Amino acid sequence: MAQIITFGALLSKAAVRDVGRVLQMPYGQVDRLSKLIPVEGVKPVSIEKALAEEPRLREEARAEEVVARMLDYAGKIEGLLRNASTHAAGVVIGDRPLDELVPLYRDPRSDMPATQFNMKWVEQAGLVKFDFLGLKTLTVVQNALDLLARRGVEVDIGLIPLDDRGAYDLYASARTVAVFQVESSGMMDALRRMRPTCIEDIVALVALYRPGPMENIPKYCDVKNGRAERESIHPLIDHILEETQGIIVYQEQVMQIAQEMAGYSLGGADLLRRAMGKKIPEEMAKERPKFIKGATANGVDEKKAGEVFDLLEKFANYGFNKSHAAAYALVSYQTAWLKANHPVEFMAAVMNADIHLTDKLDVYRREVARLGIDIVPPCINRSEATFAVADGRLLYALGALKNVGVDAMRLIVEARGGRAFRDLFDLAERVDLRRVGKRALEMLARAGAFDALDSNRRRVFDALEVLVAHSAACHDERASAQVSLFGEAAGDLPRPRLPDPEDWLPIERLGHEHQAVGFYLSGHPLDDYEGPLRRKNILRLDALTAQAARGPLVARIAGTVAVRQERKSARGNRFAFVQLSDPTGLFEGTVFSDVLETARAHLEPGRSVVVSVEANMEADTLKLLARGVQPVAAVVADAAPAGLRVFAAGAEAFGPVARVLERGGEGPRGPVHLCLMAGDLPGEVELALPGAYAVTPQLRGALRSLPGVLTVEEF
C-alpha cells in the first residue's frame, strides 16, 4: 500500500508571491498584487493575460520598477513544478510489493511510501486508486454523542429523522457556525436564498458551491421558491432533473441523460462522462455523432439532440459526484441536527476539536453566547480538562488555556475526583503541582480558575512558588513512606504563610485573563465605556459591519488593541496592520505612515482607542483604513452619565463601596445611589449617598468588581 505523489505547479498567483518574497517586497503589497490576478474557473489566469485584462495591475507595474521586475521574473518561472507532495486522500493497494510494479518515493513528512507516478499514470500502470477521506467532523459528532450519553441521552446518529424542522430552520436562517460544509459567509448567503426544506437541497448545495457551478445557485433558489419557472430541456429527461430544479448538477445525471435519451449503456455513459469531464477532444469527437444517432433513434430532433449534447458537455466539467455530495451533505445535516436539538453538547464537542486554536475558540464562544448558552469560566472545582456540559451549561476547559497541556489538567481532574478542593493548600496536598508546571499554574491563576478557592487572583498568582514548594514537600514525604520522629504524616506538614497583596484592578484582571485565555471571557475592557460610547455615536463592530454591507462609509469604532504588526513599503514608509476587539468581535485595520507616526503610542497592545475609519466590504470581508486614532478615555471625557446606581446583594457590600468612593478620582462628578437587594425585603431599597463622585468608567469598573456588588448601572 502507498500514497500517490502530486506535483505542485507554480501558477501565476503563487509565482508572484514567491518572487515577491525573494525580492523582499512587503507582504501586504505582494498579497494585494496577487489578488489583482483574475481567476477563471478554479485557476488564476497567466500573468501575461492578467496584465492584458487588469488595468490596475498594469498601473502598479508602471508606477514601481520593483513591481514590473517581479511580474517579469514571475512570468518566466510560471508553470514550473514547485514541489512534490502526496495526494490528500489517494491510496493505491497492490497484490504484491509495490516496488515490483511502480517506482516509489519517500515523502520526508510521512512514514508511508508514495508512488512516483501521479494519479493519472498510476491507474494506467494497473493499480487501483482509493480515496480515504479523514474528517475531523466525524470526531466532533462522536464527541457530542458521548457528552449526551453522560446525561443519559442515547442517540443513534444513523437513525435521526431527515425531516427535522429545527435543522432546516437553522439552515434557512444561516445560523450555521460550526455546521459542516456551510460555515463560510458565501454558503450562509446561499442558504438564506435557498431556504432548504429537504436533504436533497443540502446535497445540491454541496455540489453547486464550487467555482463554476455556483453561478447556478441563484437559478436553483429562484425556481425552488417559486420566483422563476422551471425550464424544460426535453420531456424524455425532465424527470431526471426534477430534484435539482431543472439544472444539471451531478455527474450521475449526465450518465442518466445519455442512457435514457441516447440509449447508452451505463458503462458507455460513464466513458462519456469521463471524456466530457476531462475534456479529451479525441473522445468527444467520437461521442458526439454516437449520442445524436442514439437520441434520434428515440425520436429526438437532431438539432435538439446536438443542443443537449452541448449542454452535457458544459455541465459534465462542472458536475459533481452525487454520492460524494450526499455523503458530505448527510454529515452536514447530522451536525445541523445536533446543533438544533442539542446545542450545548454540540458546541462543546466542536470546541474540543479545536481546543488549541484560540481564534476558533473565540468564534465558537461568541456563537455559544448568541445561542443563549451559559459558559462556566475555567474553574478548578467544576471544569474538566476538555470542554464538558453540566446542568445545560458549557464548562470551559482547563486544557484550552494557553501554555496549558490537556494531560497536565487531567492530573488535576483525576486528583479532584468527586471531592472538590477546599482551599489552595488542599489542592497542593492532593496534586503534585510540580507535574502540572509553574507556567500552567500561572495561566490558571490569570484565568481565574482558582477563584473558587481564593477570589484574590493576585494573591494566588504571587503564592504559586510557595504552593509548589509545599506541594513538593508533601508528596516527597508521602513517597518516602516514612513517619517523622514526632509521628507527622504528609498532611500534617505546617502550611506556609501566603502573601496578601491587594487584588488586581478590574482592567488588570481582564488583561491577565486575555493573556491566559486568548480573548476576553468574563468581560471586555470597553464594557464600562458602553454608555459614553453610545452617547458619542461611536459604532460597535456588529453595527459597522451591517452598515458597510450597504455601502462604503466613514465612521468611528472603539476597540482594544490586540496586535500591532508594522511593515515597510517598497518606498520605505512604515505602515501597520492593527488587530483590535470590542464586545462584539475581532477586527483589523490598516494604518498608513501619516496616521501611524502620530498614533503609535496609542496602538500598544492592551490600550483602548477610538479609530476613525473608512469602511467597506470586499468579498464578504470588512476592510478598515484608519484615518485617526485617539485614546478612548479622551474621547468620552465629556460624555459621563448623570450618576451611577450600585446594586448590592447585602449590607456587607457597603464597606468596600465606601472605600472605593473615598478614593475618588478625576472626572465629571455626579450622584451615586446604593440599591440594596436583600432577600427578606419586599423589594429593593434605594439610598442616595451624600456628595458627588467621579462617575467615570473607571469608577464603574472598580465598583462592579467588589464582593457583594451585583451590577452597576448608569442613570
Choice among 133-137, 333-337, 451-455 with the minimum mean pLDDT = 133-137
Q: Which cell goes with 264?
A: 447508452
**What's the whole-number mean pLDDT along residues 313-328?**
84
Q: Under a CB-based contact definition with an 8 Å cutoff, are residues 116 and 33 in contact? A: no
Q: Which cell goes with 15?
A: 509565482
CB atoms within 10 A of CB 157: 16
Regarding predicted confidence, which is higher, 41 or 294? Answer: 294
Give SS3 for 673: strand
Q: Under a CB-based contact definition with an 8 Å cutoff, are residues 115 and 122 in contact? A: yes
Helix (H) or strand (E) holding 554: strand 553-568
- The torsion angles phi and psi of 192, rounded to 5 degrees, stand at -60, -40
**What's the whole-number mean pLDDT along residues 554-580?**
87
Span 363-403, pLDDT tens digits: 899 899 889 999 999 999 999 999 999 999 999 999 999 98
Q: CB within 8 A of 417, min separation 6: which ones?
A: none
**What's the whole-number mean pLDDT along residues 449-473?**
94
Spans of all domains in the chain: 2-131, 251-318, 356-507, 527-635, 644-714
The answer, yes or no, to whether residue 279 has pLDDT greater than 80, is: no
Q: What is the CATH number of domain 2-131?
A: 1.10.10.1600
Exposure letters 146-155 (e unless 16+ CB within 10 A, then b): ebbeeeeeeb
**What's the whole-number mean pLDDT along residues 578-594?**
90
**DSSP secondary structure letters along 272-312:** HHHHHHTT-HHHHHHHHHHHHHHHHHTT--HHHHHHHHHHH
Q: Under a CB-based contact definition with an 8 Å cutoff, are residues 79 and 9 in contact? A: yes
Cell 475581532, located at residue:
586
Q: Answer yes or no: same fold for 2-131 and 527-635.
A: no
Integer-rounded Cα Rg, in Å, for the chain is 32
Q: Which cell goes with 2?
A: 502507498
Cell 516527597, located at residue:
476
Q: What does the alpha-carbon distance between residue 602 and residue 154 come to, in Å, rounded to a whole number? A: 54
Sheet of 672-676, strand order = 685-688, 672-676, 644-648, 709-714
Give the pLDDT of residue 685: 80
Summary mean pLDDT of the chain: 89
Give the pLDDT of residue 679: 58
Give the pLDDT of residue 359: 83
The answer, yes or no, to whether residue 199 has pLDDT greater than 90, is: yes
Give the pLDDT of residue 95: 84
Q: Under a CB-based contact definition with an 8 Å cutoff, are residues 4 and 123 in contact? A: no
**Which is nearest to 178 in space by CA: 323, 340, 330, 324?**
340
Span 433-450, pLDDT tens digits: 999 999 999 999 999 999
The answer, yes or no, to whether residue 669 has pLDDT greater than 90, is: no
Highest mean pLDDT among 44-48, 315-319, 375-379, 711-715: 375-379
Q: What does the alpha-carbon distance between residue 538 and residue 544 come to, in Å, rounded to a whole number? A: 9
**What's the whole-number mean pLDDT along residues 704-715?**
82
CB atoms within 10 A of CB 379: 19
Angle 686-687-689 (CA atoms, 0-180°, nearest 5)? Answer: 145
Choice among 56-60, 212-216, 328-332, 618-622 with the minimum mean pLDDT = 618-622
Does the domain spanning 527-635 belong to CATH 2.40.37.10? no
Query: Going by DSSP bridges, is the β-strand pair 39-40/104-105 parallel, antiparallel, or unpaired?
Result: unpaired
The answer, yes or no, to whether residue 52 has pLDDT greater than 70, is: yes
Regarding predicted confidence, which is higher, 239 or 120? Answer: 239
Give the pLDDT of residue 486: 53
The answer, yes or no, to whether residue 692 has pLDDT greater than 80, is: yes
Residue type, 535: R
Give the pLDDT of residue 682: 52
Give the pLDDT of residue 678: 63
- pLDDT-derived band at 572 (thresholds 50, 70, 90) equals confident
Residue 253: exposure state from Cβ atoms within 10 A (0-12, 13-18, ≥19): buried
**Which is nearest to 264 in space by CA: 294, 221, 309, 231?**
294
**What's the whole-number mean pLDDT along residues 411-433?**
94
**What's the whole-number mean pLDDT along residues 644-672?**
83
Give the pLDDT of residue 557: 96
Give the pLDDT of residue 493: 80
Span 467-515, pLDDT tens digits: 999 999 998 888 775 555 555 554 568 889 999 888 887 778 888 998 9
Span 141-183, pLDDT tens digits: 999 999 999 999 999 999 999 999 999 999 999 999 999 999 9
Give the pLDDT of residue 485: 53
Q: How many helices (H) and strands (E) does the chain have?
A: 30, 21
Give the pLDDT of residue 590: 94
Give the pLDDT of residue 655: 84
Choice among 461-465, 619-623, 627-631 with the minimum mean pLDDT = 619-623
